[in-house]
Amino acid sequence: MVHLPPLPGSPRWDGSMERATAAALADAQALVEGGLDGLLVENWGDAPFTPGRVEPSTVAAMTAIAHAIRLAHPGSLLGINVLKNDARAALAIACAVGAQFIRVNVHAGAVVADQGLVHSDAYGTLRDRRLLGAPVEIFADVQGKHAVPLAPVELEQEARDLVHRGLADALVVSGRATGAATPIADVKRVRSAVADTPLLVGSGVTPETVGDLLSIADGAIVGTFLKRDGSARNPVDPARVRRLVDATRGR
C-alpha cells in the first residue's frame, strides 16, 4: 500500500503537492527496494470519504502522484483505489497512468458504512472500461473493511456474484478494519466458492501469518504492518518490508 497523505480539498490537506508527492515516492521506493511485487495507491489521508463520486481535485492529485510513481518504478505492478468507492475515477486514473488494476471496495450490492449507504456501480465501471479500451483488472472486495452488507448475504454467494455477475478479475478478503487480521476461515470460504479466481488477502498480514494465508490465497495487500511501529499513519519502514518479504520467501 502507498497510503497517500491528505490531498487538495480534503480536511487535513496541508497545501503542498510537493510534500504529498515526496512522501508517496519515498514509501514506494522503500516497498520496491524491499522486494514487493506491486504498489497500490490509495487516497487514505482524505477521510472522511464520500459515498459517491470524489471531487475533480482528488482525481487530478491522484493522477499526478500515481504518474510520478509510475515513472520512478516502471517495472512494478501498479494499482489504484479511490476511497470510499469511486471505481470509475480509479479506472480513469489507471488508464491515464498505465496502472494494471484497480481495487473496488463495493463492486456488488450495497453496504452500510461510516459514509452511510454505499452502492455498487459494476454496470458503469465495466462499461467505462470497455469504452476506454483499458487493460485494467478489477480487484473487488468481498464484504470489505469498515462496512457491513445492507442485507445479510453469505460470503460464498457474494464471491460468486462478484465474479459471475460483476465480472471481477480478482477478489480481496479482509478483516473488519484497516490493519485487522483477515480470518483464514473467510479466505477458505471464498476460495471454495470461486476456486479458479485469483484471491488476495486484504488486511492484517504479518510475517507470522503470511505463510498460512498464502497457502490458500494467491497474494496479499499489505499496508499497516509495513509502516514504522505498525501504524498506518507512519512512513514505510524498510526493515519491516524485509521481514515480510523474507517470511514470504521462506514459506
List, for residues 221-244, the tens digit of each pLDDT value.
999 999 999 999 999 999 999 999
Q: Which amino acid is at 233?
A: R
Q: Where are the alpha helices (DSSP H) in the chain?
A: 17-33, 56-72, 87-97, 122-132, 155-164, 184-193, 210-214, 238-249
In the predicted model, is pLDDT for residue 250 greater than 80? no
Residues 226 and 237 sit within 8 Å (Cβ to Cβ): yes
The predicted pLDDT at position 134 comes to 86
Distance CA 197, CA 218 (A): 9
Distance CA 232, CA 102 (A): 20
List, for residues 107-151, the tens digit of each pLDDT value.
999 999 999 999 999 999 999 999 999 899 999 999 988 989 888
Show the cell assigned to 75.
Answer: 517495472
Q: What is the mean pLDDT of residues 46-73?
A: 97
Distance CA 239, CA 161 (A): 40
Q: With cut-offs at 50, 70 and 90, classify the pLDDT of residue 74.
A: very high
Q: What is the DSSP letter of 47?
A: P
Please report, for residues 39, 102, 108, 189, 190, the alpha-carbon distance to residue 195 in angstroms, rounded to integers and kept in the order given: 25, 21, 19, 10, 8
Distance CA 119, CA 121 (A): 7
The domain spanning residue 190 has which CATH number? 3.20.20.70
Residues 6 or more apart in contact with residue 160 via CB below 8 angstroms: 193, 194
Distance CA 98, CA 104 (A): 17
Show the cell assigned to 161.
Answer: 456474484
* Domain ranges, residue 158: 2-249
Query: Considering its fold, how many domains does the chain have in total?
Result: 1
